[in-house]
Chains A and B, each alone.
Chain A
Amino acid sequence: MKNWLLFLILVLVFACSSDDKTETYEPTPLALNIPEIFEQNIISPVIPNNNPQTVEGVALGKKLFFDNKLSGDETMSCASCHSPQLAFTDNTATSDGIDGIFGTRNAMPLFNLAWNYGERFNWDGQALSLERQALEPVQNPIEMHANWEDVVLKLQNDPDYPELFRLAFKTSTITKELVTMAIAQFERTLISANSKFDKFLLGQATLTPQEQNGLNVFMDETRGDCFHCHGSPNNPLWTDNIFHNNGLDANFTDLGLGAVTGDSNDNGKFRSPSLRNLAYTAPYMHDGRFNTLDEVIEFYSTGLQDSPTVDSLMKKLDQGGVNLTTQDKADLKAFLLSLSDPSFLTNTDFQD
């Protein structure tokens, strides 16, 4: 009984104190702008409970994303490799960091990241959330080559940042975790769903006969059969966000997912990229080996390499692939390009 009384008193105390509190500042919640085509077809995006989207958080994240202060010598920002004009990637096969040293992977375009339901980021799925992903490039010696303590100190001593952190997170004490939370909030707003093909699905555009045939090649199990991995009109992310070996190499120089899981069955597997915005994201594949979409299509048509982990969906490996006709290859390309969204490049919300 005594415990009960104590409990009641405690409840009373808390209830009163919260009622008595004078108005406290709260950042303004900001709902993600979910495109109609996603709303109709796929489940809701993933937003971590401990990092809800807010107006102030997104604004801060955007400032940080474009700020050179995040790199060791203050010459590079996230946007150096993830440029809005290129659907948030760059145009080199691999990217060089502040010391001019090139990495081994192609910078990934950034869009529709909140719809990566498995939350395994990077080509090999190594980063387990957007927040954690953002920790890495800052301290990577061949990328921004900074030290988080220095970065946090710089931001703390900046005339503006402490107040911006207070507005976003109700504390002006900056930590690397808060920096990455703000960046992740901004990244989740990078939504691209306004391509010609999206408009076609919404009944606002028509496909050319070429694009229509290209879609058929994409969906036809006996021709392209791309849809088993890269989405479809019913899954307009245009990726399954799953790891596959699509037959690029007979021997791997980069083990991909295998290096992350330590399971040799995963060697040579990389996450299927979205086929949105290919018009702006060349070169292609995890190492940027193909400069053009024609090369990519030729690879799927005649260039497949066999290896123990090659996906069982890849066909006719002994003939290098499904040997598409010249017409089908051209039409497939036309269709793929209809998935590019020029308005994503010019959206002022995403510019510095």
Chain B
Amino acid sequence: MKKIFSLLAIIAALTFSSCSDDNDDNITLNTEAQTTFSFKHTWNDTEVTSADFNTIQYTNENGEMLSIERLRYVISDITFSRDGQDDIVFDIYNLVDVTNNNNTTLSLDENIPTGVYTNVSFTFGLDNEDNAENYIDLNTENFNVPEMLGGGYHYMQFDGKFINSSDAEQGFNYHAIRAVDNPGMNPTFPQDTFFEVNLGAVTITNNATFQVQMNIAEWFKSPNLWDLNQYNQMLMPNSTAQIMMYENGASVFSLENIIQ
């Protein structure tokens, strides 16, 4: 008998909830919205997906031809700022894996109130506090940074090949991490290299999808003209390279569109 009651209860619940949903849509204005972030990747104006990987076909600002073989990065702490009210902060992280087309879309678990926001932002990488946590899913993805470099996680792994100055194909590992000096038992950290990406002001009236774009070419452009012949591999323990990545990262992301 118990089984029947619980079944009936479920049916009733389903019926009622679907009715109330209908009412909402028809009568009241939305007071809450679900937000989704979708990440798209380009080389300047050309879209890049993993189908475009492994072919030397892109030319960076410094004139080197290159291919992409792997691209994945972490974004975290999505923040909605409002005038006169507390920020709404989602203390989350997401590994955008372009190689396997995983997690290129992220829907936030909780809705936010509709209304006017002065800024929407996220962190590229992990701030130092988050970077000190143990994330078993990122461990499983082999995204760790060695303990002697301070531990924590990569912010980005961007691997490929370029044609070097001797006309030969050579690998590059544009791996962004927290800049570090004195690798070993007591590494030191010259400056922070995670950064905030500001998507700007937005009025949210409905469920919204933020279409965020990473222009991969920008990693090589400005303010530091990137010379792959000089900076190609073994960049993790190279704090100069890390700080240059951080600086170039400032112009990498943009908000393409908000669909709501």
Asked if A pairs with B, the answer is: yes
How far does the Cβ of B173 sit from chain A's closest Cβ, in whole Å?
6
A117 touches B4 (CB 8 A): no
Quick check: is A128 within 8 A (CB to CB) of the other chain? Answer: no
Name which residue of chain A comes closest to B184, CB basis. Answer: A216
A312 touches B147 (CB 8 A): no
- A234-B134 Cα distance, complex, nearest whole Å: 9
Quick check: is B236 within 8 A (CB to CB) of the other chain? Answer: yes
- A41-B136 Cα distance, complex, nearest whole Å: 5
A233 neighbours in B (Cβ, 8 Å): 147
Please choose the segment from B85-93, B117-125, B138-146 that sits at the chain A interface, where 4 or more of its residues have CB less than 8 A away.
Answer: B138-146
Quick check: is A228 within 8 A (CB to CB) of the other chain? Answer: yes
Quick check: is A99 within 8 A (CB to CB) of the other chain? Answer: no
A313 touches B171 (CB 8 A): yes
Please choose the segment from A68-76, A139-147, A219-227 that sits at the chain B interface, where 4 or more of its residues have CB less than 8 A away.
Answer: A219-227
1/0 contact trace for B121-162 toward A, CB 8 Å? 000000000000010110110101011100000000001110
B19 neighbours in A (Cβ, 8 Å): none
- A42-B4 Cα distance, complex, nearest whole Å: 41
Q: Known contacts A265-B54, A312-B69, A314-B171; decide if A232 and B146 are in contact (CB<8 Å).
A: yes
Residue among A220, A221, A227, A318 facing the most chain B CB atoms (10 A cut-off): A221
A318 neighbours in B (Cβ, 8 Å): 168
- A231-B144 Cα distance, complex, nearest whole Å: 9
Known: A42-B139, A308-B169, A317-B171. 14 other contacts (CB 8 A): A40-B134, A40-B136, A41-B139, A42-B140, A43-B137, A220-B183, A221-B233, A227-B142, A232-B144, A265-B53, A306-B169, A312-B171, A314-B171, A317-B170
> What is B's interface to A at a CB cutoff of 8 Å?
1, 3-4, 7, 53-54, 69-70, 134, 136-137, 139-140, 142, 144, 146-148, 159-161, 168-173, 183, 233-237
Listed A/B pairs (29) with beta-carbon separation below 8 Å = A15-B1, A15-B3, A40-B136, A41-B134, A41-B139, A42-B139, A42-B140, A117-B140, A219-B147, A219-B148, A220-B146, A220-B148, A220-B237, A221-B173, A221-B233, A221-B236, A221-B237, A222-B234, A227-B142, A227-B146, A228-B142, A232-B146, A235-B140, A235-B144, A313-B159, A315-B171, A315-B233, A315-B234, A318-B168
